[in-house]
Amino acid sequence: MERNNRIGSLNSVIRSLDAAAGKAGIKKLKIIICGGLAAIAYGMPERATLDIDAEVDAGFEIIEKIKKNIKFPVEFTSDISRWSMIDIPKGYRERAVLYSSVKTKHIQVFLLSPLDLIISKLRVFRDKDIEDAVFLAKKFRIKKSAIMKAAEEALKTSPASSELLRFKKMVKHFIGLAYS
């Protein structure tokens, strides 16, 4: 029952985004949901989030128009890799999973793929993000080697910084948690 309530809430958030895009005069905007809302969509039990994190296939003016018509906190960007010093592996847009549980008129909603969402969560490494990542790895039976490969790809395209060392440590710690 609670999962149905969370999915119902997720669907109402998507309907609100769709209405906001319509009010802004936007048609067929691609949105890739990441963060806690994506974890909820994938079935993460007992997960709550206070905002929506998403990549929108649009420039600043369109992002601004949509945000004006939304009553809850949103973080939009045209490139989710730029939210961190660690990039999400190339091709994440093509790997995004269509979310078709709610009909929309103005937006097309995708979820960051489970593997890419894990990498995204490991970039932040808060307790709730690690819980999400462990859940995703187990639910989708993502092999340790796939996570290691995706992490290496993320490191290759990320700018040189001390964050790369921290990310490597986080990945190693996560592997110990998820695969022990």
Q: Tell me which of 48-52, 137-141, 168-172 is least confident.
A: 48-52
Query: What is d(CA 8, CA 48) in angstroms, rounded to the nearest whole number?
Result: 13
pLDDT, tens digit (0-9, with 9 covering 90-100), for 127-158: 999 999 999 999 999 999 999 999 999 999 99
CA distances from 13 to 2, 6, 55, 71, 157 (A): 17, 10, 15, 10, 33
Q: How far apart are the first and last CA of the chain?
A: 31
* pLDDT tens per residue across span 92-133: 999 999 999 999 999 999 999 999 999 999 999 899 999 999
Q: Tens digit of pLDDT for each residue in 20-36?
A: 999 999 989 999 999 99
Query: Mean pLDDT in the chain?
Result: 92
Q: Does residue 2 have a pLDDT over 50?
A: no
Q: How confident is the model at residue 8 (pLDDT cuts 50, 70, 90)?
A: low
Alpha carbon distance 142, 81 (integer Å):
21
CA distance 12 to 74: 14
Quote the pLDDT of residue 155: 97
In this prediction the pTM is 0.91
pLDDT value for 83: 86
Report the distance separating Cα 116 and Cα 33, nearest Å: 12
CB 129 within 8 A of CB 118: no
* Residue percentage of the chain with pLDDT more than 70: 96
Residue 7: predicted pLDDT: 47
Q: Which helix (H) or strand (E) holds 76?
A: strand 74-77
Strands of 97-98's sheet in order across: 74-77, 52-56, 29-34, 107-111, 97-98
